[in-house]
Homo-oligomer: A and B are copies of this chain.
């Protein structure tokens, strides 16, 4: 299972090269995660109200083609791995079917105080229901 997020590039996300700045993609991954969790039935705002946070511990991105103001970018997001203490997401970014970038983000489960904690059973079950797979992704 993957979620799909379509977003339109903001002018503020571009830089003097005339293309989207590479840090903006990192924010787009976050939109993808938000949408994936919401589609699983429990949005991240609800997680936080329960005192469950996912702190980013790692990022890896490969950029393949630039994109520009006003273009529509599709972010595909899926779960690569989900455990009590760590969750890994995979991402693919496309524009009109052309691959723009792909990446992964790794998250440690923490409380509101930033300390490590374990995922509540129901949230872990939710993530596992998305069929995490190291070989996963949109093939």
A114 pairs with B27, CB closer than 8 A: no
Residue in B12, B17, B30, B114 whose CB lies within 8 Å of A66: B114
The answer to whether A95 has its CB under 8 Å from any CB of chain B is no
B53 pairs with A22, CB closer than 8 A: no
Central interface residue in A15, A31, A66, by most chain B CB within 10 Å: A15
B22 pairs with A59, CB closer than 8 A: yes
Q: How far is the CB of A99 from chain B (nearest CB, A)?
A: 13
Q: Contacts A12-B21, A15-B14; is A58 near B63 (CB within 8 Å)?
A: yes
Q: Contacts A60-B59, A70-B34, A114-B66; is A11 near B19 (CB within 8 Å)?
A: no
Q: Contacts A26-B23, A31-B10; is A16 near B58 (CB within 8 Å)?
A: no
Interface residue count on the A side (C-beta < 8 Å):
38
The answer to whether A135 has its CB under 8 Å from any CB of chain B is no
Cα A32 to Cα B95 in complex, Å, equals 23
Q: Which residues of B contact A34 (CB under 8 A)?
A: 8, 10-11, 70
Contact with B along A22-53 (1 / 0, CB 8 A): 11001100110010000000011100100001
Q: Contacts A12-B30, A27-B12; is A114 near B59 (CB within 8 Å)?
A: no
Which 10 A-B pairs rank lowest in CB-CB distance, beginning with the nearest?
A14-B16, A45-B70, A23-B26, A22-B56, A59-B61, A12-B27, A16-B18, A60-B60, A14-B15, A57-B63
